[in-house]
Structure 1
């Protein structure tokens, strides 16, 4: 393989990711992947014997991309804590969630897995758990610098999911960041989160 050139397998995964993001799992065919990736059908099938295997490879690729994205955001937030720029538990929490929901391919994973879970293999559901663990790990790493009561964590997650993730999944406007910050700060005060 030439230096700097992505492998055919990675190229096929990228093409399939774009299709799954735009069209969903059910509406994406291997024939469409062949055309989009500009490869032969045998090339696709030699790397991915079924559409489900291709989908699982797309999820694995998205997990790696999400890890990089969230680590970069977390690192930036942790550096900001060292300077007096008003970075707080809540502002960092919201920033991590906003980073997570801004990528359409991540939202596509939710749409496919939540909408078509009954059609997915156990291995696919396990990959979805790994996918969500990326966000969970970033949030936990962020919270490690603060004194957070475990029982309050559920409330913070629930409110943020409803304010940011669900609207993104439903193509609706998310809650205004300032309003969300006020709501979460009120929760943290009432639950003595520092």
Structure 2
């Protein structure tokens, strides 16, 4: 699976310590780019660590393994589309506008440059019960 090269594909320079929450967000963002571009099976923790600008031990401090990292991303991606659709449905009492808003929220999600929708709708890990 190949996607165009963008700023998201750039490797981060190795930097100083970040607070745990910020480091986790950085790792998830980097992993998203790698998983979207390469798929689960072809993605390597080395690639993710390099893209994030951290050592592999730092990556493993936050995520015990590749599947744990992938599942965290999958949860985040599913939560995003669900939350966006809920907000769209709650935005008005007019059913026609609610449907339009929900459809717009869905297409905004699928059209996002991050490609997060691929984790939800095009996973190459469908044999894994936790992913299903």
TM-score, scaled to structure 1: 0.48
Cα 1:71–1:30 change in 2 (3 A) is: same
Higher relative contact order (CA 8 A, sep 6+): 2
Q: For residues 26 and 99 of structure 2, what CA distance do their matches in structure 1 show?
A: 38
Residue 116 of structure 1 aligns to a residue whose secondary structure is coil
Q: Which runs of 5+ in 1 are unaligned?
A: 126-194
- Residue number among 109, 123, 136 corresponding to 2:130 in the alignment: 123
TM-score, scaled to structure 2: 0.67
Cα 1:90–1:18 change in 2 (3 A) is: same
Q: Which runs of 5+ in 2 are unaligned?
A: 1-16
Residue 124 of structure 1 aligns to a residue whose secondary structure is coil
Cα 1:65–1:91 change in 2 (3 A) is: closer
Residue 70 of structure 1 aligns to a residue whose secondary structure is helix
Q: What residue is the counterpart of 2:122 in the other structure?
A: 111
Q: What residue is the counterpart of 2:111 in the other structure?
A: 102
**Structure whose CA Rg is larger:** 1
Q: How many residues align?
A: 114
Q: What residue is the counterpart of 2:87 in the other structure?
A: 72
